[in-house]
A and B are shown apart, each in its own frame.
Chain A
Amino acid sequence: MSEESVISQTDIEKAINSVKAIKDGPRALQLYMDICAKCGTCAEQCHVSRANPQRRTNPAARSDLIRKLYKQNGSILTKIRGLFNGQSNNLSPEDIETWVRDFYECSGCRRCAKFCPFGIDNSVITRKGRAIVHALGMSPKMMAQTQEMSDKFGNDEGQTYASFMNAVEFLESELQEEHGIPIKIPVDQEADILFVPASADLVSFPETQMGCATFFHAAGLSWTMSSEAFDGANFGLFTGDDAHMKRKNKLLHDACLKLKVKKLVIGECGHAYRIAKRIGGAFYWGGDIPYEITNIFIIAAEELARGKLRLDPNKNPEPVTYHDPCNFARSTGVIEEPRVLLRACTTDFREMTPNRDYNWCCGGGGGLAVMDSKEGVKKNEVTFLDYRMNVGGKMKLNQVKETGAKYLAAPCANCKRQLMQLMDYHKMDVRVGGVFDLFDKAVILDK
């Protein structure tokens, strides 16, 4: 795709027009064009900028790719400011190639917004930039392919009904073997709860999926999965493709209506929950949707508080630490619930510093975690894997090292992949998995 594509004059005009349109766009974008004081604080608080300090990784400089263009093309007011900066009014094909590279260096983790004196969230500008290159067909290959796959099959992995049912059957037999009793994964049944993980869990992180099933069993909840909507992951958030994001979110909505559930419960996937709860859900389908949208950590913490779960922390004696997926901590406020659960399931829980909403991103955010090659991004000097291992993941790696933990719990499919690769790459003796993996070990079931 991107390698062969030639950027035409029409493409450039399209890009410029999208930037111009910001002047009547969302309030946050308008403000971010106007109020950045170039104080440099975000450069100190962004993991990318810290790990690889140079102008292009400076969040304010990356945002300036769009901001400068906006100021030449915006209203008269902003033009005056543009004049002072002596900017020439052109966007070259090369500039657009630069956009693809630079906007895919930001993981959209929103840490900068926690420290900016005005709360400027540079990820909003990043997403705008990505949306523009996506509209020109220039998204990194893997991003575009995953979306296509998802539109075709309803999940990012391209699983069919048969392969999904196979996976479910396999997991049920594993559960039987592990616990010595049958633990069901109900599919397409009317129930109180529709459970939606990231479909990657079914294939790549089966222990997490098994732990979730065991939890529903142990708590005695009425739940089901849907063969039509078992993937909460949604790359529309990463590519800036709002239409795709809405299409994919509709699968969940439709399944909830069809199965008449009271709750949509998202599993261990940060961005899936953010979209289901904060971006989509009631905002797409109306405030009167007949089901509540929540998350498996929230209901598990409730069941635990109610005394419905019996857990033996001695089953997990190794030192365990917790990685706050940014989409849980900063974007949906799921912060204490996973910790409550971890403390109940382990004997040696250790916090990283900084943690919670100040946590460093794993370096795989914004969809980066699934990309390994250069993905057809012309200007990439290194592969995405190289970049994630040596730049994006650097702050996280040091944090994990400091804890001395042997198990790193990261409840997000993207974080898991990034962190597994990171630990491998740097020869760290640390296992990476979910929170419910540990729950599955610690839980005491009635036989």
Chain B
Amino acid sequence: MGGIKIFIGEILPYITLIVFLSGITHKILKWTKAAQGKMTLYPAASTPGDKWKRIVKEIFIFENLFKGNKPLWAGTWVFHVSIALILIGHVRVVTDFPLLWQVLRMGKEDVDTLSTTLGGAAGLVIFIMGIYLLVRRLAVQRVREISDKDDYLTLALILGIIITGDIMRFVTHFDLAQSREYFVALFTFKSVAVPGDPAFLLHFFLGQLLIIYIPFGKFLHIPGTFYSKSIIYQE
């Protein structure tokens, strides 16, 4: 147990960071440097500003998908919004914002209630949506026929992260004070006890795997969408 703890908590994070940063930089540079002729899909954006407005709109509301496939749009939009909310919430895992709470006149209890309701809700919703995406991939023939092992693998990875996260929230009631102390130590290269909750360890491990996989797999759609949209919207 001790060895695993040290690996996940004190060694892997640095590997994750290095692999992710170098992988993603490599990709972005490659895309940026590649030549590209015009292949606008009309009606085109009239100005660069207009182009970016359309890209941002796509990023926030998935308009293409809305027109193309409503049920998938609903499922995946909620899925991505939950991810965004949860990621924002995760900032509290690393640090706290006493000043912000003061300005908002929220006591510790209020903040905890907010976190429990909003975070709890998002945790449940994203679990349901993750299952929906998996079921859809298995049940809808047109999706199933193009699904590869890595499509299932990434979904399994995400579901694993969601489930371990939900366990911490609803079962083991993970104490954030522990993780804050740990992350401060990690970033300042000091050795401090890695939180021992097995759910935390597994969650943290899978999360790092996901980050490592971003530059190699289908998660590349996150940065890639800016580039690919830019190509077809430009005038």
Contact = CB atoms under 8 A, between A and B. Distances in A.
Contact of A41 (B68, B148, B215, B232): B68
Q: How large is the interface on B (under 10, 10 to 19, 20 to 34, 35 or more residues)?
A: 35 or more
A124 interface: yes
Interface string A305-349: 000000000000000000000000111110100000000000000
A168 to B, nearest CB: 33
Contact of A115 (B65, B141, B231): B65
Contacts of B68: 41-42, 44-45, 114-117
B64 A115 contact: yes
Nearest to A80: B216
A85 B150 contact: yes
Interface in B187-235: 215-218, 220-221, 224-225, 227-229, 231-233
A77 interface: yes
Nearest to B65: A117
A84 B152 CA distance: 10
Contact of A81 (B34, B43, B143, B216): B216
B143 A283 contact: no
Interface stretch (B8-16, B25-33, B160-168): B25-33
Contacts of A205: none
Interface string A381-409: 00000000000000000000000000000
B146 interface: yes
A24 B228 CA distance: 16
A124 B39 contact: yes
B64 A58 contact: no
A34 B27 contact: yes
A114 B67 CA distance: 9
B68 to A, nearest CB: 3
A290 interface: no
B229 to A, nearest CB: 5
Interface in A12-49: 23-28, 30-32, 34-45, 49
A293 to B, nearest CB: 13
Size category, A interface: 35 or more
Contacts of A119: 41, 64, 225, 228-229, 231-233
Contacts of B67: 114-115
Contact of A55 (B26, B64, B145, B220): B145
Contacts of B62: 117
B213 to A, nearest CB: 9
Nearest to A45: B68
Contacts of A333: 40, 42-44
B105 interface: no
A357 to B, nearest CB: 6
B224 to A, nearest CB: 4
B216 A38 contact: no
A38 B26 CA distance: 24
Interface in B63-87: 64-65, 67-69, 72, 76
A100 B36 CA distance: 26
Given A38-B151, A41-B68, A119-B229, A61 B218 contact: no
A53 interface: yes
Contact of A110 (B26, B41, B215, B216): B41
Contacts of A44: 68-69, 142
A28 B150 contact: no
Given A121-B41, A331-B42, A333-B44, A40 B142 contact: yes
Contacts of B41: 110, 113-114, 119, 121, 330-331, 357
A120 interface: yes
Contacts of A279: 37-38
A39 B227 contact: no
A45 B142 CA distance: 12
B120 interface: no
A64 B44 contact: no
A25 B42 contact: no
Contacts of B227: 27, 31
Contact of A85 (B27, B148, B231, B233): B148
B157 to A, nearest CB: 11
A269 to B, nearest CB: 17
A37 B218 contact: yes
B42 A84 contact: no
Nearest to B142: A43
Contacts of A26: 34-37
A38 B143 contact: yes
Nearest to B67: A115
A39 B36 contact: no
Contacts of A35: 218, 220-221, 224-225, 228
Interface of B: 23, 26-27, 30-31, 34-44, 58, 62, 64-65, 67-69, 72, 76, 140-143, 145-151, 153, 215-218, 220-221, 224-225, 227-229, 231-233
16 contacts: A27-B31, A28-B231, A35-B224, A41-B72, A44-B69, A45-B68, A84-B149, A115-B64, A115-B65, A118-B221, A120-B228, A330-B41, A330-B42, A331-B42, A335-B43, A357-B43
The 4 A-B pairs with the shortest beta carbon distances in the complex, nearest first, are A115-B68, A333-B42, A35-B224, A40-B143
